[in-house]
Chain A
Amino acid sequence: MKAICYRLNSALTGFFLLAFAVVMPALVQAQTANDGQPVKALTTNSSGALLVLRESGLFVLDGKTATEIPLPPSDSVPRPNSLATGADGSLYLSGPGLGIWRYEYASERWQSLSHTLPDLGITAIAAHATQPDTLYAYLGEGGMFRSRDAGAEWMKVDSGPREPVEAFLHSDMPGSMESGWLFAGTTRGVARSMDCFCFWGDAGDLRGTVTVIGYDPSAPENVYAVIEGQLHHSSDGGETWAGIETPQAVTALTFSPTEGLLVGTENGNLLSRHASGGWGPVHE
């Protein structure tokens, strides 16, 4: 009996060792891009690959391989800080001093979309959830701009919420008079407007500087916001909020069609949330 137990035990250990040996290189590879710095932004493209903006560059994480996408050229020191995926899967990148760019996956080239913007001081961008040609940009003092032709022509639509905007999101949550909702993370909390820009109001009474905002496209009432690294969740479109525990402070988030909620942390890690509510490394 003892012997059987022992043999089973050693077989199990062997199995785990083997499994570890198989998985480990993949883990290492997936995390190679980790520079130990906070993840600056995350988005998911139409084929489910994860795009990770780090201090050290922009990476596509497709399954177990991480590929770097060279950043667009810039005169000044570029400070990319915002990613968005359009309804057609296009990738958008922006940042203060950098303007707004679209990446052509096929030709592997960046195209500047800033020609009709008054300046390059882009604080945050958002892409319309269902209309591929509609984009939004927040220019700080300059206010809120919208393009309906994929960035060729920008028009100022609004000065935005009263407080400055740090993060921006378009969502196809139902109930809007027009085609969806805009959520803005401001220094006061989350502001919400229908996408007619007909009035920015408080979304609930979550207070603090919201630096990250996202939602679940498969259940759009679920909105997520980060204040000082703490993740908050609303299941009613921003009316009420509750904190979610995370192992490390959160600095970016996105939704993947396969893995659900994914966060980037201040240590540069990428974590996904298990059904049980716990967190684990992405691609584990």
Chain B
Amino acid sequence: MPLEDGDLFMNKWLVPLVLLVAPALVMAGGEPSNGDGVPTEMAEGRQIYEQYCASCHGWQGEGAADWNKPDEKGEMPPPPHDETGHTWRHSDAMLFRMIAEGWRHPFNETDQLTMPAFKDNLTDEDIRSVIEYLKTFWAGDQRRYQQSESHSRDRHPS
């Protein structure tokens, strides 16, 4: 299948590229990963993000190109986690559920869980710290919105 070949090609090149670029990024990263009052949870969150999420959602949470419409398979591509995306619209509980259980847009044309479930690879603690890291991509008013969504969910469970 040509699509799978493409994926293989991507992976073959992505891994060395990541190995090459990651240390540079870590060094160049503005925020120190520990000390200076930055909680170690954030450093852990970042490490988990870069290991498990960045390949699809982008190193800076920028998402896939053309993320806002279905791709040629009829699947929604990985959306950005930064202020241009909609991750900040979800409460902590919902983010946790999507990362643990996985998620696919109900109108995707395939049944594949395009956002993989991470509950077998990440502990609850890991998931919580990667969620905290996602919040560093958001603008201040988005963080406030998301905080109130997280609280109002206690009052409006669905």
Contact = CB atoms under 8 A, between A and B. Distances in A.
Interface stretch (B13-21, B40-48, B86-94, B122-130): B86-94
Interface of A: 131, 134, 148, 174-179, 196-199, 201, 237, 239
Nearest to B107: A239
B60 interface: no
Contacts of A148: 152, 155-156
Interface in B126-158: 149, 152, 155-156, 158
B103 interface: yes
A270 B86 CA distance: 41
Contacts of A196: 86, 89-90, 94, 149
Contact of A175 (B90, B106, B152, B155): B106
A264 B98 CA distance: 42
Interface of B: 68-69, 79, 86, 89-90, 94, 98, 103, 106-107, 149, 152, 155-156, 158
17 contacts: A131-B156, A148-B152, A148-B155, A176-B106, A177-B94, A177-B98, A177-B103, A178-B94, A179-B156, A179-B158, A196-B89, A196-B90, A198-B86, A199-B68, A199-B86, A237-B106, A239-B107
Contacts of B86: 196-199
Nearest to A174: B106
Contacts of A134: 156
A198 B79 CA distance: 11
Contacts of A179: 156, 158
Contacts of A198: 86, 89-90
B158 A201 contact: no
Nearest to A172: B158
A197 B94 CA distance: 14
Contacts of B89: 196-198
Contacts of A176: 106
7 nearest interchain CB pairs? A175-B106, A179-B158, A198-B86, A198-B89, A196-B89, A199-B86, A178-B158
Contacts, number: 35
Nearest to A204: B107
A163 to B, nearest CB: 15
Contacts of B158: 178-179
Given A179-B158, A197-B86, A239-B107, 14 more contacts: A131-B156, A148-B152, A175-B106, A175-B107, A177-B90, A177-B94, A177-B103, A178-B94, A179-B156, A196-B90, A196-B149, A199-B68, A199-B79, A237-B107
A273 B114 CA distance: 41
A190 B144 CA distance: 30
A239 B79 CA distance: 21
Contacts of A199: 68, 79, 86
Nearest to A238: B107
A148 B158 CA distance: 14
Nearest to A173: B106
A239 B106 CA distance: 11
A164 to B, nearest CB: 19
B68 A201 contact: yes
B78 to A, nearest CB: 13
Nearest to A175: B106
Contacts of B94: 177-178, 196
Nearest to B103: A177
A177 B106 CA distance: 9
A143 B156 CA distance: 23
B157 to A, nearest CB: 9
A82 to B, nearest CB: 24
Contacts of B107: 175, 237, 239
Most buried by A among B69, B106, B149: B106
